[in-house]
Chain A
Amino acid sequence: MAVRGSGGGTDNNMRRTGFLLVAFFVFSFFSTLTASAQVPVRMRVIQASNVGQNIDPSLSDVHKELGSLFSFTSYRLLREENLRLFPNQPATIMAHPGRFMEVTLVGLQKEAAKLRIRVIREGKDILDTQVRLSPGRTVLIGGPRHGEGVVIYAISARF
């Protein structure tokens, strides 16, 4: 009797373990699918000007690119946002006073995320674009005036 009772307990434990393993796999599979349907995006708002020669230390990773593309002497990080974009759910950030940016994940392919980016000033779209952002690529949107310089938005996706 004792042996049979012990065996039944072992069977129950095995069944429970098996069930938990299956549940774990199912959960992992669906969490992977869910995770694959979102894109982490890094957005930085940079003020570029010719006043002084200050380079913000937090921009050291893009300073070389900025220096090769633009003739500004000073770059200052105004704001940084790390967003998780979900399909068709717009994320809005205040870019700088009077303007805000709306970013929407409109498509997710195997190697790139399709983002719709709108820069809105006083209710008017001063920019409406759709870009295909792959890992390692940075999209710089610049031009809007800010103080004595201009503002540059740096957008990159991290898959």
Chain B
Amino acid sequence: MKNSCSTVSTVLEKYFDQEVTDEEKLLVEGHLQECPGCRDALKSMEEFRILIKAPVEEATQKEDFPWVWQKIERGIRQQEKLTWWQSFRSWLDVTPLFKKRVWIPAVATVVVLLFVTTQIILKKTPSYPEVSVVEYIESQSDNVMVYQLEEPKVTVIWLFEGPEEERTTT
């Protein structure tokens, strides 16, 4: 019996707190039917819990924890008044892109590639056959001649200011 009591006493508190396994439960309940000492010990535990529980619940009901609510309300107010910069920072905080260092070279590479690609796409390439370089031409006072060559790529616009200038062109 003594051995059995010492064995049960190690799990009696667990039994009281309903934390025992099924096997332990059977062991304890079988022993309690035979042992008045352990039944008294279990009864003492229940009385002690009742003794503690009542004043604690009473104190809890009376206490409204004002400082806790103040802290929560302050937190809510601060969260509501986020500036655009704080919002941006918080966005950065949750963006997984910035969580891992490995992304930095990857992003840098993408940025450089995009930059180079943009330069190539936007670069102007002379490739079209020019039909006419001069779109319109007029002079209020002089006669004008237009002469266009493809090789070399030269367009000549000649102004005849006076009759003596005509002999200078070929």
Knowing A32-B118, A110-B124, A132-B130, say if A25 contacts B98 (CB, 8 Å): no
Write the A54-77 contact mask toward B (1 if CB under 8 angstroms, else 0).
000000000011000111100000
What would be 11 A-B contacts, judged by CB atoms less than 8 Å apart?
A18-B98, A32-B118, A121-B141, A127-B142, A128-B139, A132-B132, A138-B153, A140-B154, A140-B157, A145-B161, A145-B165
CB distance from B103 to the nearest CB of A (A): 8
Could you tell me if A135 and B168 are in contact, using CB atoms closer than 8 angstroms?
no
Docked CA distance A64–B161 (Å): 25
Could you tell me if B130 and A137 are in contact, using CB atoms closer than 8 angstroms?
yes
**Total number of A-B contacts with CB less than 8 angstroms?**
160
Binds A, one of B48-56, B58-66, B106-114: B106-114
Q: Which residue of B lies closest to A25 (CB)?
A: B111
Knowing A11-B98, A143-B159, A159-B126, say if A69 contacts B154 (CB, 8 Å): yes
Among B98-150, those with CB < 8 Å from A are 98-99, 101, 103-104, 107-108, 111, 114-115, 118-119, 122, 124-128, 130, 132-142, 144, 147, 149
Could you tell me if A142 and B111 are in contact, using CB atoms closer than 8 angstroms?
no
A51 at the A/B interface (Cβ < 8 Å)?
no
CB distance from B134 to the nearest CB of A (A): 5
Most chain B CB within 10 A, of A18, A124, A144, is at: A18
Could you tell me if A32 and B130 are in contact, using CB atoms closer than 8 angstroms?
no
What's the interface size class on B, roughly?
35 or more
Docked CA distance A143–B157 (Å): 8
Q: Which residue of B lies closest to A129 (CB)?
A: B137
A28 at the A/B interface (Cβ < 8 Å)?
yes
Could you tell me if A36 and B122 are in contact, using CB atoms closer than 8 angstroms?
yes
Could you tell me if B122 and A139 are in contact, using CB atoms closer than 8 angstroms?
no
**B residues near A, CB below 8 A?**
92, 97-99, 101, 103-104, 107-108, 111, 114-115, 118-119, 122, 124-128, 130, 132-142, 144, 147, 149, 152-162, 165, 168-170
Docked CA distance A130–B157 (Å): 11
CB < 8 Å: which of A33, A138, A143 contacts B122? Answer: A33
What's the interface size class on A, roughly?
35 or more
Closest 8 CB pairs of A and B: A143-B159, A129-B137, A137-B153, A130-B135, A135-B126, A141-B157, A25-B111, A140-B156
Could you tell me if B157 and A129 are in contact, using CB atoms closer than 8 angstroms?
yes
Residues of A within 8 A of B104 (CB): 14, 17-18
Residues of B within 8 A of A126 (CB): 139-142, 159, 161
Residues of A within 8 A of B158 (CB): 141-143
CB < 8 Å: which of A18, A19, A70, A121 contacts B169? Answer: A70
Using A127-B157, A128-B140 as known contacts, list a sample of 15 further A-B pairs with CB atoms less than 8 Å apart, ordered by residue number in A. Answer: A10-B101, A14-B101, A17-B104, A25-B114, A28-B115, A29-B118, A69-B169, A69-B170, A127-B139, A127-B144, A134-B153, A139-B133, A141-B156, A149-B168, A150-B168
Knowing A111-B125, A114-B135, A126-B142, say if A32 contacts B119 (CB, 8 Å): yes
